[in-house]
Amino acid sequence: MEQLLSFIERNTIRLLTHRKALKAYELANKPKRTFIGEVKGWADALVFAVFAVLLINQYIFQLFVIPTPSMDGTLNVGDRVFVSKTIYGIEIYPSGPKMLSSNRNVTRDDIITFYNPEYVSKGPFFDILSQIIYMGTFSLVNIDRNDDGSIAERLYVKRAIGFPSERIRFTDGNIEIRRAGYNDYIDDNSFRTSLDLVDGPHRSIDESLYSGIKAWGSLFGYQESGVDMTSVPSYLKSQYALVQNDNYPDDMYAFETAKNRTKQLFNPADSNARSASAAYQRGIYVPQGSVLPLGDNRDNSRDGRYFGPVSQGKINGSVRFLFWPLNRIRYMGNK
């Protein structure tokens, strides 16, 4: 027993002595701290952190700031949300092809993020740089701006409303859906109630204003057809008085519908006007592999009414959690 204790004591002393000598050597030969060395150390840490953030944003989740009122009531301007980047498959690179996307399609009423079909690129270098800065700062800095200084919307946030083989039409801002395999249209409220969907979508325009909006569109139709405005029916002028102080039609889709219908009626030989008017009357057909996204703030949303259905391949995520402001924190998976 004494031999064992003696053995342990000798080796413990040897180990501690070795460690003490090693530490003394390291202190004696410690490299001097220099300004350049400190900068390099911080730069390495910063590059690693940014790279890690970019990977997280691209392949796991992305922080997103709601830039416009198109989803007001559900998501307000300035709200910050987590967007799942894996739910519909994982993009190999921004706006590129997806992997692990089989049977992982959008489901009805999902709040989705997708690439804006109307986005005007400022060049590949700027596009990449702006995305790196935006994702690398967790959405705090966005250098991608329009000419008027507003944020350029590279990504849109909308609700998935129309699905393959369905046709969606709009009457005075109200939505009607013809489901796949059916001949009749059903109004949006009845459709949503039948499927027990949330009541997020809402209207804000007084229905009484639609006569004025449509009159405004008809007057533009006459004007573009070269008609002497003194020959325009007086009832259109009186209806237009309802909205004559507006700078912009509250419902551009209804305005365009009325404009093209007037041009087609005035000159049936105008094939362009006839085709455009027929398209508005038929509504929007959703092809296979696509969805029709619409904003919850139906009367103030640049959405699928204007740019049409969006391919599921261009949908890059789903809003899952609202984390700012603190008094509105909630899970968004149930819409």
Query: Over the stretch 69-127, which tens digit does the pLDDT of each residue have?
Result: 999 989 999 999 999 988 888 887 777 777 776 777 899 999 999 988 888 888 878 87
pLDDT at 14: 65
DSSP codes, 123-187: -HHHHHHHHHHHHHTTTS----B-TTSSBP-SEEEEEEEE-TT-EEEEETTEEEEE-TT-SS-EE
Positive or negative: CA dihedral 283, 285, 290, 291: positive
pLDDT at 126: 82
Report the share of the chain in percent with pLDDT over 90.
28
Q: Which of 243, 260, 278 is the last residue of a domain?
A: 278
Residue 155 has pLDDT above 60, yes or no: yes
Residue 211 a catalytic site member = no
Whether residue 159 is found in the same domain as residue 87: yes
Whether residue 112 is found in the same domain as residue 76: yes
**CA–CA distance, 71 with 206 (Å, rounded to integer):** 19
pLDDT at 167: 95
Average pLDDT over residues 180-193: 90
Whether residue 221 is found in the same domain as residue 305: no
pLDDT at 3: 62
Whether residue 160 is found in the same domain as residue 76: yes
| Catalytic one of 158, 214, 259, 263 | 158
Within a domain: 52: no
164 pLDDT tier (thresholds 50, 70, 90): very high
Within a domain: 238: yes
What residues have CB less than 8 Å from 46, skipping those under 6 apart? none
Whether residue 236 is found in the same domain as residue 309: no
Q: Domain range holding 159?
A: 60-119+154-167+288-331
Q: Which of 256, 278, 300 is the last residue of a domain?
A: 278
Tallying the residues shown for the chain, one arrives at: 335
Contact 112, 160 (CB under 8 A): yes
Whether residue 238 is found in the same domain as residue 274: yes
Contact 53, 135 (CB under 8 A): yes
pLDDT at 7: 53
**Amino acid letter, residue 230:** T
Residue 208 a catalytic site member = no
Average pLDDT over residues 268-286: 85
Contact 179, 166 (CB under 8 A): yes
In a 10 Å sphere around its CB, with 0-12 CB exposed, 13-18 middle and 19+ buried, how is residue 32 labelled?
exposed
Sheet order of strands, 284-285 included: 186-187, 174-178, 167-171, 284-285
Within a domain: 199: no
As a whole number, the mean pLDDT across the chain is: 83
Whether residue 213 is found in the same domain as residue 295: no
Contact 67, 77 (CB under 8 A): yes
Whether residue 293 is found in the same domain as residue 162: yes
CATH number for 313: 2.10.109.10
Within a domain: 1: no
Whether residue 99 is found in the same domain as residue 158: yes
Whether residue 230 is found in the same domain as residue 261: yes
Q: Which of 253, 278, 303 is the last residue of a domain?
A: 278
Average pLDDT over residues 196-212: 88
pLDDT in tens, 223-274: 888 888 777 888 888 998 999 898 888 899 999 999 999 888 888 877 888 8
pLDDT at 226: 83
Average pLDDT over residues 181-194: 90
Residue 15 has pLDDT above 60, yes or no: no
Specify the 3-state DSSP secondary structure of 199.
Answer: coil
Number of domain units in the chain: 2
pLDDT at 284: 94
Average pLDDT over residues 138-146: 78
Within a domain: 33: no
Whether residue 85 is found in the same domain as residue 159: yes
Within a domain: 46: no
Within a domain: 260: yes
Whether residue 322 is found in the same domain as residue 259: no
Within a domain: 17: no
